[in-house]
């Protein structure tokens, strides 16, 4: 079913977490899959934020629809399929989830930690050197 069938009222209820659980889950899944739905929800969030309703704040507090730490790691490595990448991008940039932003920064630091990379490289060379020696 096309994800654009949701009414504005439904999406607002979703943002307010006022829907039945299975409906919440369904919309969340559609959000992950549909760019147009993400755009609609992003517009609603902006509209309401301007009106003094900070829907984004609720999302941030509740950590709604947060990707897992592993998903975030794959996001950094660029190994996700396009839909997932876009969803995480939406979640972090548009929703502005501070929890995931912090998580992502943490992962980024870990991945770019020169000491860790050096020691991993050293281990690799040591093991391949040992392999070369024993194969003589
Ligand atoms: Zn999050």
Q: How far is the CA of 6 from the centre of ligand 1 (A)?
A: 23
Tokens 């975030």 locate to 72
Candidates 53, 44, 51; CA nearest to 94 is 44
Q: How far is the CA of 129 from the centre of ligand 1 (A)?
A: 43
Query: Residue 62 has which token pair?
Result: 């509740």
Q: How far is the CA of 114 from the centre of ligand 1 (A)?
A: 27
What is the four-CA torsion angle of 79, 80, 86, 90, rounded to 10 degrees? -90
Sketch the domain layout of the chain as residue ranges: 3-134
Predicted TM-score (pTM) of this structure: 0.45
pLDDT along the chain (136 residues), means of 10: 74 82 88 87 75 57 71 88 86 79 81 65 59 48
């Amino acid at each position: 079913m096309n994800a654009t069938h949701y009414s504005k009222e439904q999406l607002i209820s979703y943002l307010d977490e006022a829907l039945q659980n299975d409906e919440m889950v369904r919309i969340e899944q559609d959000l992950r899959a549909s760019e147009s739905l993400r755009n609609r929800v992003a517009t609603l969030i902006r509209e309401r934020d301007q009106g003094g309703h900070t829907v984004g704040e609720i999302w941030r507090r509740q950590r709604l629809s947060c990707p897992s730490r592993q998903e975030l790691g794959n996001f950094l490595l660029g190994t996700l399929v396009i839909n997932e990448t876009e969803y995480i991008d939406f979640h972090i940039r548009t929703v502005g989830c501070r929890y995931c932003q912090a998580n992502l920064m943490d992962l980024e630091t870990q991945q770019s930690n020169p000491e860790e990379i050096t020691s991993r490289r050293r281990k690799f060379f040591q093991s391949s050197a040992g392999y070369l020696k024993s194969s003589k």
